[in-house]
Amino acid sequence: MEKVDIYNRFREHTGKTKGRKEVEAGEYRISTHIWVKDLEGKILVLKRSEKEDKFPGMWAQVGGGVVAGDTSKETVVKECLEELNLTVEENNMYYVGSYIRTRDIVDVWLVEQDIDVSKLVFQEEEVADAKLVTMEEFDHMIEQGIVVPSINPSYDLMKNYLKQYKDKK
């Protein structure tokens, strides 16, 4: 079982480590949502495996939990490599922000780099498919109900970051 570091709602480490599913009310683990954007402005979205216990077959961003002893930034690199065999370089990564859910603090990241979807290698237990879409196409996917419903806070943070800081010339 994967162990995670436990934090309070102020993101202060409590000194505790627990199994990922053992986090209790008032305790938080760190998770990452990773938005990969290509150089043409399209975002990479993944179709979750039918084997996933939460939201099987639905579309989402790259992401994963931060294991005990790791940082959120290290997890971005690990998850992209693990789920897609996608190598991410630090100079392509941007920390966007965080928000709190019931039992985790979600760190939202943006990765900007060229992507060749045909060269991605999916981790079969987690990823069934991947594609590049415009944000307008992704908005339509959300309206269709084929995207993980809890994605909106993360997606909104990423879109606002792009609008405020990256899309300015």
- The CATH number covering residue 83 comes to 3.90.79.10
pLDDT for the residue 152: 94
User: How far is the C-alpha of 165 from the C-alpha of 169, rounded, in Å?
Assistant: 9
Give the pLDDT mean for 16-20.
Answer: 95
**Domain assignment of residue 150, yes or no:** yes
**pLDDT tens-digit readout, 45-63:** 999 999 898 899 999 999 9
Q: Show the domain range for 78.
A: 33-97+108-166
**Domain assignment of residue 14, yes or no:** no
Round the average pLDDT of the chain to a whole number and report it.
95
**pLDDT tens-digit readout, 127-156:** 999 999 999 999 999 999 999 999 999 999
**Domain assignment of residue 102, yes or no:** no
**Domain assignment of residue 1, yes or no:** no
First-to-last CA distance in the chain? Answer: 46
- Is the distance from CB of 66 to CB of 53 less than 8 angstroms? no
pLDDT for the residue 169: 47
Give the pLDDT mean for 103-132.
Answer: 96
Phi, psi of 148 (to 5 degrees): -50, 125
**Domain assignment of residue 82, yes or no:** yes
Query: How many domains does the chain fold into?
Result: 1
- Is the distance from CB of 133 to CB of 38 less than 8 angstroms? no
